[in-house]
């Protein structure tokens, strides 16, 4: 993930340098100096970079589940409220009590219906019947 951020940062810096080091064409616009033109270009590049970062964060957010924790044959399990799938829980299970409705974040593995918990996001109390 850090490599993606580095790659994005390098790409942004290369684009910014290209925009700043190239001489803009003279369109003959009255009152537009090189300083104003460079400011507009920098502002456009900055807005584009912010949009790119926003899209990246929106698309690559962490996975989370919310549901009822139960004791299963292989240990703790969570029945997801969203898709009614049951996942075996692994990873950081501190604070997770069977019979409580919880929200967890981590990584989901659909192949073996396993969820590796990174952290307990919230404990909502006892499960509803």
Calculate mean pLDDT across residues 39-60.
85
Torsion of the alpha carbons at 34, 35, 40 and 45, rounded to the nearest 10: 100
Mean pLDDT for the stretch of residues 121-126:
90
pTM over 0.85: no
What is the structure's pLDDT at 83?
84
**Res 121 pLDDT > 80:** yes
Paired tokens of 39: 């400011």
Specify the pLDDT at position 66. Answer: 92
Structural domain that includes position 39? 2-59
- Give the mean model confidence (pLDDT) for residues 73-80: 87
**102 and 51 part of one domain:** no
Average pLDDT over residues 53-77: 83
Where among 33, 59, 85 does a domain terminate?
A: 59
The structural domain count of the chain equals: 2
């Amino acid at each position: 993930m850090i490599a993606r951020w580095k790659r994005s940062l390098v790409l942004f810096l290369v684009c910014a340098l290209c925009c700043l080091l190239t001489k803009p064409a003279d369109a003959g616009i009255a009152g537009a100096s090189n300083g104003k033109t460079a400011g507009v270009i920098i502002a456009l590049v900055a807005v584009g970079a912010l949009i790119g970062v926003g899209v990246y964060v929106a698309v690559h957010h962490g996975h989370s589940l919310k549901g009822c924790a139960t004791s299963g044959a292989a240990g703790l399990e969570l029945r997801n409220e969203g898709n009614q799938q049951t996942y075996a829980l692994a990873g950081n299970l501190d604070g997770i009590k069977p019979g409580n409705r919880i929200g967890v974040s981590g990584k989901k593995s659909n192949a073996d219906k396993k969820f590796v918990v990174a952290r307990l996001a919230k404990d909502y109390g006892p499960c509803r019947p």
